[in-house]
Amino acid sequence: MTEPLLRIEDLAVNFDTPSGVVKAVNGVHLSIYPGQTLGVVGESGCGKSVSALSTLQLVPTPPGCYERGKIWWSAKGEPPVDLLTQTEKQMQSIRGNDIAMIFQEPMTSLNPVYTVGEQILEAILLHQAVGRAQAIEIAVTALEDVGIADARSRLKTYPHQLSGGMRQRVMIAMALACQPKLLLADEPTTALDVTIQAQILELLRELQIKRGMSIMLITHDLGVVAQNADVVAVMYAGRVVEYGSVHDVFDRPQHPYTRGLFDSMPRLGEEKHRLRTIEGNVPDPGNLPSGCPFHPRCRDWQEDVQCAQAVPPLQEVFPRHWAACWHGTGCDQGNASLADIPPVSTTA
Amino acid sequence: MQKVRRSNWKTGSLGWMTLVVIVGACVVTLPWSLDRYDVQDYEQVFQSPGQLYWLGSDELGRSLGWRCLLGGAISMGIGLAAAGISVGLGVVWGATAGYLGGRVDAVMMRIVDILYGLPYILLVVLLNLALTPAFTRLIGMVFSEDTARHVAGLVTLLVAIGGVSWLTLARVIRGQVLSLREQPFLEAARACGIGPVRTFWFHLLPNLVGPTIVYGTLSVPGAVLAESFLSFLGIGVQPPLPSWGNLAAQGTAQLANLGLPGTVVRWWLLLWPCVLLGATLMALNFFGDRLRDKLDPKTR
């Protein structure tokens, strides 16, 4: 099996707030392989975005602080480097060039005082050794690639002249202009309406196949994950609680939280009944419950199991399907070894 | 809403036109007014406005018309230059404090608070005292001693006014930067690999152009008024150089023994400089307000 492009190992990020230390990310393991889409799902505040931002060292420090962990980045043919130990200067040449990021709010992610063209050109000129004329050609191609008609004259428009979907396309064009190997998409379609959302996701899929890049797709929409991701990581309270290929996780969810998520989703063609909810609220990340952070809301919680005492490690419950639960249904079937080693991918 | 906007437009264009007429007249006539502002004619003292002197003459028989024109040029020049200094200093100071944040921000803004707390006349007088000799020596290297003394006085004055009036602008700009700093496009710029220095100059500062122009324009009348006020008090532009402020002061002095039997009311000495100053200040304010409506996205 090939080396992962990006491997996050036991990442923990804290935020120092006036009301105490908030553990936003608390021991995350993730790997992304070349050409693969990793879907990261979870509720607001479960650490999805912070994990992605950490990859580019974009978490503001202070108040943020990289408590522990490694983020191994292995570009083609080179030994892996830990992105968390890179200097700001080194990170600047990685950001936008090797790893690009697109954000949730296309309406405000473009600088209102510059034309679209100027902003794309800036990114190109920064990372590629090309002249201005050549950069304009690259920018035009990039805009055409994201399906913007009449790209050459669009270069001269200002962000406020474009609709939300168009702006997100521009953001994608900008992110992809330098041919990054990994795209971090932080809820790229949340602010868009459903038809545009489908178009943007379709576009990302096409571009991924064309360029063979990897995508880390952060979302809270399970439907988006089902359609677009190869591998899915379900996060809860700063940890990955379930991890496996989309088919495995969707067919036989192992963690009670994942099952709760599926139960709370309406399905087409199914008899109408009241949807089941997950009781309670997301725990305050500044004051996590003892043991498994999910146990106070867990339907399967039994007093006799060690749920309230110790944090369950991510275990391989089925081959290449991991879950962090003390009494996962598959526990006895799989090789219940502790996953000290970071989980590896299902398929390449 | 429509109505409010239209009336705004009218006062805006009225301000604009008044400004062009007065400033244009003062600037275009500079070559002549510089020549004649100090020509004295003892046969013609205290002439009321008429054929010989359109705006009357003063106690030394100098033409008030020429003195008002040159005074206007000096007042506006000092006002503009002082506003320029205050904009430059205020933007750099406020933007730096807001962008760096944290302890640097706290220290920089406390300095502003302290300066804010000091009486501003005192600061101007102190700056005046401290800077005049240095400027005189500096300018004396190029010009004759007499010219140097005059020019140094003016330069000191505008530096002093500018050096005091940047405080408000620094606060305004810092506030703008604090809200801009949280905008996603700055994070997006970082995520593109753009360094913090470049982000500051090319992504943050251009977004401040609107508010800066508006507050800059609105600080011009403040500076003109400050100059006139200081000149009125006698610590501003020094005679024989005129400014609207010291012209008005001289006019007031002539009214000192008003009411005593046999005194003549020489109203023109006070009226013209005051009317010109008032009209210009109002025009500048209207113009600035109009500009704010145009450029400020919140009122657009």
DSSP string, A74-115: --TTS--EEGGGS-HHHHHHHBTTTEEEE-S-TTTSS-TTS-
Report residue B10's pLDDT band, with 50, 70 and 90 as the boundaries: low
Q: How far apart are CA B283 and CA B215, in angstroms?
A: 15
Contact (CB<8Å) B207/A111: yes
Please indicate if any CB of chain A lies within 8 Å of the CB of B188: yes
Instruction: Print burial letters for B207-226: b (CB count within 10 Å at least 16), e (below 16).
Output: bbebbbbbbbbbbbbbbbbb
Region label for A187, one of left (φ > 0), alpha (ψ between -120 and 50) or beta (otherwise): left
B194 contact residues in A (CB cutoff 8 A): 92, 96, 122-123, 126
**Helix (H) and strand (E) counts in chain B:** 11, 0
Instruction: Look at residue B297 in the predicted model and tell me its pLDDT.
Output: 53
Q: Which of B105, B182, B185 to mutate to test the interface with A (most CBs of A within 10 A)?
A: B185
On the question of pLDDT at A345 being above 80, the answer is no
CATH of the domain at B123: 1.10.3720.10
A62 contact residues in B (CB cutoff 8 A): 102
Residues of A with CB under 8 A from a CB of B: 56, 58, 62, 88, 91-97, 100-101, 103-105, 108-114, 122-123, 126-127, 171, 174-175
| A212-233 pLDDT tens trace | 888 999 988 888 888 888 899 9
Q: How far apart are CA B57 and CA B242, in angstroms?
A: 13
Q: How far apart are CA B18 and CA B12, in angstroms?
A: 10
Report residue A328's pLDDT band, with 50, 70 and 90 as the boundaries: low
Give the list of residues 6+ apart from residue B158 with CB closer than 8 angstroms, or none.
B77, B78, B81, B82, B85, B223, B227
Tokens representing residue A256 in the block: 């009670």
Q: Concatenate the DSSP letters of all residues of B189-229 into one string.
A: HHHTT--HHHIIIIIIGGGGHHHHHHHHHHHHHHHHHHHHH
Report residue B8's pLDDT band, with 50, 70 and 90 as the boundaries: low
Separation in Å, CA of B63 to nearest CA in chain A: 51
Q: How far apart are CA A52 and CA A65, in angstroms?
A: 14
Instruction: Look at residue A304 in the predicted model and tell me its pLDDT.
Output: 66
Residue B126: what residue type? L
Instruction: Print burial letters for B87-110: b (CB count within 10 Å at least 16), e (below 16).
Output: bebbbebbbbbbbeeeeebeebbe
Cα A332 to the chain's mean position, in Å? 30
Bridge partner list, B63: B57
CA dihedral A165, A169, A174, A175 (to 10 degrees): 100
Bridge partner list, A25: A13
Coil, strand or helix at A8: strand
A122 contact residues in B (CB cutoff 8 A): 192, 194, 202
On the question of pLDDT at A331 being above 60, the answer is no
| A28-39 pLDDT tens trace | 888 888 888 899
**What is the mean predicted confidence (pLDDT) over A273-279?**
78
Q: Element (H or E) spanning B21, and its range?
A: helix B2-28
Separation in Å, CA of B288 to nearest CA in chain A: 21
**What is the mean predicted confidence (pLDDT) over B243-247?**
84
From the list B185, B191, B192, the residue facing A108 with the nearest CB is B185
Contact (CB<8Å) B195/A92: yes
Instruction: Look at residue B111 in the predicted model and tell me its pLDDT.
Output: 92
Residue A52, burial from CB neighbour count under 10 angstroms (0-12, 13-18, 19+): buried
Instruction: Look at residue B109 in the predicted model and tell me its pLDDT.
Output: 93
Q: How far apart are CA B233 and CA B249, in angstroms?
A: 8
On the question of pLDDT at A109 being above 60, the answer is yes
Strand order in the sheet with A64-73: A20-32, A6-17, A64-73, A81-82
Instruction: Look at residue B3 in the predicted model and tell me its pLDDT.
Output: 46
What angle do helix axes B102-117 and B145-181 make, rounded to 10 degrees? 130
On the question of pLDDT at B20 being above 70, the answer is yes
**What is the mean predicted confidence (pLDDT) over A254-273?**
79
| B49-107 pLDDT tens trace | 777 777 778 777 788 888 888 888 888 888 888 889 999 999 999 999 998 888 899 99
Lowest mean pLDDT among A220-224, A331-335, B248-252, B274-278: A331-335
Q: Element (H or E) spanning A68, and its range?
A: strand A64-73
Q: How far apart are CA A314 and CA A333, in angstroms?
A: 15
On the question of pLDDT at B174 being above 90, the answer is yes
On the question of pLDDT at B225 being above 70, the answer is yes
Instruction: Look at residue B107 in the predicted model and tell me its pLDDT.
Output: 94
Instruction: Look at residue B12 in the predicted model and tell me its pLDDT.
Output: 66
Tokens representing residue B112 in the block: 């502003």
Give the list of residues 6+ apart from residue B114 with CB closer than 8 angstroms, or none.
none
Instruction: Look at residue B106 in the predicted model and tell me its pLDDT.
Output: 93
Q: Which of A95, A107, A121, A183 to mutate to test the interface with B (most CBs of B within 10 A)?
A: A95
Q: Concatenate the DSSP letters of all residues of A100-154 into one string.
A: EEE-S-TTTSS-TTS-HHHHHHHHHHHHS---HHHHHHHHHHHHHHTT-TTHHHH
From the list B102, B184, B203, the residue facing A108 with the nearest CB is B184
Provide the 8-state DSSP code for B63.
B
Nearest chain B alpha carbon to A121: B192
From the list B102, B183, B192, the residue facing A95 with the nearest CB is B192
| A129-175 pLDDT tens trace | 888 888 898 889 888 888 888 888 888 888 888 888 888 888 888 88
**What is the mean predicted confidence (pLDDT) over A255-264?**
84
From the list A88, A96, A113, the residue facing B191 with the nearest CB is A96
- Give the total number of structural domains in chain B: 1
Quote the mean pLDDT of chain B: 82
Contact of A82 with A88, CB cutoff 8 Å: no
Contact (CB<8Å) A126/B194: yes
Q: How far apart are CA A228 and CA A189, in angstroms?
A: 12
On the question of pLDDT at A57 being above 50, the answer is yes
Contact (CB<8Å) A95/B188: no
Contact (CB<8Å) A110/B188: yes
Q: How far apart are CA A95 and CA A179, in angstroms?
A: 12
* Residue B183 CA: distances (Å) to CA of A16, A51, A107, A348, B189: 21, 20, 11, 37, 10
Q: How far apart are CA A155 and CA B264, in angstroms?
A: 72
* Host domain of residue B68: 2-299
Contact (CB<8Å) B185/A122: no
Bridge partner list, A232: A39, A244
B156 vs B93, more confident: B93
Residue A326, burial from CB neighbour count under 10 angstroms (0-12, 13-18, 19+): buried
Please indicate if any CB of chain A lies within 8 Å of the CB of B181: no
Q: Which of B103, B180, B181, B192 to mutate to test the interface with A (most CBs of A within 10 A)?
A: B192
Provide the 8-state DSSP code for A297.
G
Please indicate if any CB of chain A lies within 8 Å of the CB of B194: yes
Q: How far apart are CA A303 and CA A306, in angstroms?
A: 8
What angle do helix axes B145-181 and B120-140 make, rounded to 10 degrees? 130
On the question of pLDDT at B120 being above 90, the answer is no
Cα B62 to the chain's mean position, in Å? 26
ipTM: 0.75
Which of A298-307, B241-250, B271-280 is modeled with the greatest confidence? B271-280
Nearest chain B alpha carbon to A53: B191
% of chain B surpassing 70 pLDDT: 93
A303 vs A72, more confident: A72
Q: Element (H or E) spanning B60, and its range?
A: none
Nearest chain A alpha carbon to B101: A62
**What is the mean predicted confidence (pLDDT) over B232-260?**
80
% of chain B surpassing 90 pLDDT: 8
A182 contact residues in B (CB cutoff 8 A): none
B192 contact residues in A (CB cutoff 8 A): 95-96, 100, 122-123, 126, 174-175
Q: How many CB pairs under 8 A join A and B?
A: 64
**What is the mean predicted confidence (pLDDT) over A76-92?**
80
